[in-house]
Every structure is written in structure tokens, then in C-alpha cells.
Structure 1
């Protein structure tokens, strides 16, 4: 029909919540573009965000190592004392029929979060330095986004906090360095995820991969 305007599908973006289509336009730094239907944030670019995300991911990775290596907490009841680390929690169910649970704990609270931090560093660090994206950076960033719901370090620390409330009435509990490292890890992860503007990252990956 005459008078109709043809829109290139490549110029459209869909809201991840309600699938409403929007024309892809440049969003100024420190501004926010929201879905006109449901209000979901579509883009919120920040200057230097990739550098900040990379540094936060590296910080989180260091905190993860500290959380695994150092003692998590110490329980004291009468003359008995027992120190436990995250590694001890993972190995606690490593025998018999509970072995799959031990693997799941290790996978969800240690391996997947650490792998996601490494993936973000690999995908974003070269661009933060002004270089071209690393090989397969788009695939690696997409993988990091897909595993995000399964990286459950923050769920673990919430579960520990609930358990400590119950254990505190039975024994004296002393929090170790790993507990504070894990708590800091959760805070750093939340800040990092808030800094990630996925639309901006994808567009930057696409633009810099052409050259």
C-alpha cells in the first residue's frame, strides 16, 4: 500500500518482558530508555561501564578464591570446636547417594559463578582497553548471560544466614574471613549486574567486530 513506511527489522528491538517492538535509537550516556508498554529498562548506557564491569568481575573472582580457600565459620560447643570452609560444605555430601548434591553445590555456588566472571572478563576486557573484541566474544558474552540464573552464590549466602540464626542458639558461631569474602562477593556481583547494559554491550560487540 502506498504511504506505508518500511522499517528494517534490524532497526527494531523487542522488550525482553512483554515483546513490544521499539525503534533502536542511540541513548545518551547516563540516560535510560524504557519500554513504552511495561516500563522495563531497555538501555541504560554509562561512560566507562565496560571498564567498571571488567574490574568488578576480576574483584569478584578474587573474592571467590578467598571464599573457597579461607575458613568460612567456626562452631564452638562446650569443649568442641569445628572450623568449616566452603570446600568442606561441598565435600560434606560427597559420599553415597548424596554425591550428586555435592556436585550440584560445587557447580552452582562456585564453578558457574567463577566461570561467568571469567567469561565477562574475556568478552569485555579487550573492548575496555580500546581493542577489538576477543575471538568468539559475542558467543562468550551470550553464554555468560544464559548461565546467570544458575550462578547462585547469593542464594548460598542467604541460606547460610538463615541456618546461622538457628545454629546460634545451640553453639557459639564465629564468622571466618571466607564469610565476609562471600558477602562482599554478593555485593560486588549485584553492582556488576546493575552496571551491565546488555543492549549497549551487544551493539558495541557488533560494531567493533566489523573492523
Structure 2
């Protein structure tokens, strides 16, 4: 039932809370986050000035900085956990929610995409990355002049959108809708 909430009698945790228009909202948040993700990857993330030396970098530059030698696994981890996995989760959300938000049947293998979306959640480290960068910038601020680039703000907005999108999702409602609309 729309607007009703099911809670655990023992601990009070919300088990089921469908919302009107939630799929459309999740789809729009996912599309917006996808656009912000591309801005966060390629625009300048931060600039550092120290004693006449100037450096500007993006997340893409950070991934490519370790692309050879013994630090290659670090480059792969940064690319995978900070860029590729969040992009794949956003793509999976759009793939699953897109048709259902406009009352169409789900696309083929939407159930697998939704399983991937849920399983990859703990490994998509965009939120952890932004916290780590913020702590590092506070430490570096005493040694050099640090300027936040547009990608930093895009990434911060992206993290907020991802958190909002994940909190809007009632997985039980999505699975139920997916199951109902998959039937011939």
C-alpha cells in the first residue's frame, strides 16, 4: 500500500516504505549523478601552489599517475572503486528504473542488474574517497595553497545524490514491481 510503512516490532527498523513517484525520482537522481560523475572525472579536481610550483590534477590524472611499475594495482583499484564501480551502479539503476518509471515492462535481465546494483554498493567507494581527499587537503593546507576545482564540487554533489538516491530506494517495492511487470 502506497504511503504505508512496515517496521520491525523488535528494533523499529523500517522494512518496507513505498513512496509515490520514487522510481521516477531515483531515475532522475541517477541521471543527474551520471552527468556529475563525468564532470568529476575529467574537470580539474584541485590545484596546489607551493613555492612557485603549480600543479593541477583531475581524478583521471590521478588514475593515470600510477599506471606503470609496482603501483599499477593502486591505479586499477582507484579506477575500479572510485570511477568504474559507481558508474556501473548508476548505469544499472538507470537500466532497471528507466522503463519501470514510465510504466513499461522491465528490460531483459533487469533482475541481474538490480542484484549487481545491490551487491556492488559496499564496494563503490565514492563517499570514502571524498572524505579521504578532504582530510588530506586539511593536512596539506598548511604546506601549500590548495584551490578546489569544479570536479571537487561535482564529486561532492555526486556523493550527496548517491546517498539521497540510495535512501529513496525501497528495495522490496522495486523487486515487487520488477516481478509484477516481468510477467507476460
Task: Output the TM-score relative to the length of structure 2.
Answer: 0.97
Aligned to 1:138, which of 111, 116, 131? 111
Q: Which runs of 5 or more residues in structure 1 are unaligned? A: 1-27
Rounded Cα–Cα distance in structure 2 between residues aligned with 1:34 and 1:149: 24
Look up the match of 1:109: 82
Rounded Cα–Cα distance in structure 2 between residues aligned with 1:129 and 1:113: 24
TM-superposed CA distance for 1:138, in Å, is 1.1
Q: Which runs of 5 or more residues in structure 2 are unaligned? A: none
Where is the helix percentage greater, Structure 1 or Structure 2?
2
Aligned to 2:63, which of 90, 93, 96? 90
Higher relative contact order (CA 8 A, sep 6+): 2
> Bigger radius of gyration, 1 or 2?
1
TM-superposed CA distance for 1:92, in Å, is 2.1
Deviates more, 1:57-66 or 1:28-37: 28-37
Look up the match of 2:95: 122
Task: Output the TM-score relative to the length of structure 1.
Answer: 0.85
Look up the match of 1:7: none
Q: Does 1:204 pair with 2:150?
A: no
User: Which consecutive aligned stretches of 4+ in structure 1 deviate over 4 angstroms post-superposition?
Assistant: none
Deviates more, 1:172-181 or 1:136-145: 136-145
Q: How many residues align?
A: 184
Rounded Cα–Cα distance in structure 2 between residues aligned with 1:138 and 1:164: 41
